Amino acid sequence: MPDTRTLGLTLTSCGLVGVIATAYLGFSWAPLVDPEAWNAPEAYRILFWHVPFAWASFLAFCLLFIGAVSWYRKRTEWGWRLVVTGSELGLLFGLGVVISGPIWGSAEWGVPWDWGDLRLNTYGLLTAVALFLVLSRRTQPDGDDTRDTLAAVGLFGFALVPITALATTWYQNRHPGIVLVESEDTGLDPQIRMVLMLGFVSFLVLFVGLVTLSGTIQALEEELEGRQRMLDEGAIA
């Protein structure tokens, strides 16, 4: 499968270049926020990766949802591949959010985690669901029963996505609101917005690259298993 391999590697490389550029511009070009309004004005630069990481994790959970529905409806192999890819990338980007959020929180709020905040807790649960899916897939024997169970857990995980995404609109406690949507009113600096947009595009390209790579790897694993099975059957016969 040379085409998807090359495509995946190219998109991943381009995405990484954009992600690095986002970090560089976030530190060197984006202006400092008002030191009177923020406790740790430099720490806000974490958000140039934190927010796109969160968006990418939501995309991963969307893939997980589509895959789980497809698996339940028609037992399609591509549906299961989406479940695997979605859970892996959901864990990767979810961990990024769960790591960077508390670092920013401890600098800005003085505490890394607020157990009374709806978004923090639902997001933590979402990442825990992704961790459960990845670990279960690697430790349980692959079969329809295992896939049914994990797809069901994946559907439950997706139900948390809209709750987490809209948590700051419904019930804002500590976590800031939706940055870009509220920027018209709050007057987000154009340079900050531009770096954030570069981050979104770069992480989107990286995400598509990683999805392509994951799909290619799974296809190769299946091909290898298929060949092994044929050899085993030939040896028995």
Partner 1 sequence: MTGMVEAVVAYTLLSSLLATYVVRQIVLLNGLTSKLGESSSRGPEADSD
Q: Is the CB of 118 or the CB of 213 nearer to partner 1?
A: 213
- Residue 194's Cβ-side half-sphere holds a number of Cα atoms within 13 Å equal to 9
Q: Which of 139, 143, 187, 235 binds partner 1 (CB under 8 A)?
A: 235
Q: Is the CB of 58 or the CB of 203 nearer to partner 1?
A: 203
Q: Give the Cα-Cα-Cα angle 201, 129, 147 (nearest 5 degrees).
A: 100
d(C-alpha 119, C-alpha 105), whole Å: 13
d(C-alpha 135, C-alpha 84), whole Å: 11
d(C-alpha 32, C-alpha 34), whole Å: 7
- Does 17 contact partner 1 by CB under 8 A? no
Q: Which of 7, 9, 14, 160 binds partner 1 (CB under 8 A)?
A: 9
3-state helix, strand, coil in the chain (%, to 5): 80, 0, 20
In this structure, what are the phi and psi dihedrals at residue 161, rounded to the nearest 5 degrees?
-60, -55
Q: How far is the CB of 95 from partner 1 (least distance, A)?
A: 6
Site for partner 1 in 83-102 (CB under 8 A): 92, 95-96, 99-100
- Does 45 contact partner 1 by CB under 8 A? yes
- Does 53 contact partner 1 by CB under 8 A? yes
Q: Which residues bind partner 1 (CB under 8 A)?
A: 5, 8-9, 12, 16, 19, 23, 27, 35, 39-46, 49-50, 53, 92, 95-96, 99-100, 103-104, 106-108, 210, 213-214, 216-217, 220-221, 223-224, 227, 230-231, 234-235
